[in-house]
Amino acid sequence: MTKRGRSMSDVLRRAIAESGMAMIALERETGVQRMSIVRFLDGERSLRLDKAEQLAEYFGLELRPKRKG
């Protein structure tokens, strides 16, 4: 968990949930299997980094260095 209380997983879960997309449509658009997405959303499993990257790219999310100071 980050200082702000939102981990990368939390941000990605929120983006997926707020999209309102059907899992089958998200699978078609991203290439990430819907069962992997469902298990991730349910907190049963984490995503492989390459799959998280595919989803993050689709939703326009990016990882940036934290500002120092």
Residues 17-58 have pLDDT tens digits of 999 999 999 999 999 999 999 999 999 999 999 999 999 999
Report yes or no on 17 lying in a domain. Answer: yes
Largest Cα–Cα distance in the chain? 43
Residue 40 neighbours by CB distance under 10 Å: 20
d(CA 50, CA 40): 14
Structural domain that includes position 13: 8-58
Classify residue 19: in a domain, yes or no: yes
- How many structural domains compose the chain? 1
On whether residue 64 sits in a domain, the answer given is no
* Predicted TM-score (pTM) of this structure: 0.84
Q: Would residue 18 count as lying in a domain?
A: yes
The verdict on residue 45 lying in a domain is yes
How many helices and strands in the chain, by DSSP H and E?
4, 0
Please, are residues 12 and 61 in contact by the beta-carbon 8 Å criterion?
yes
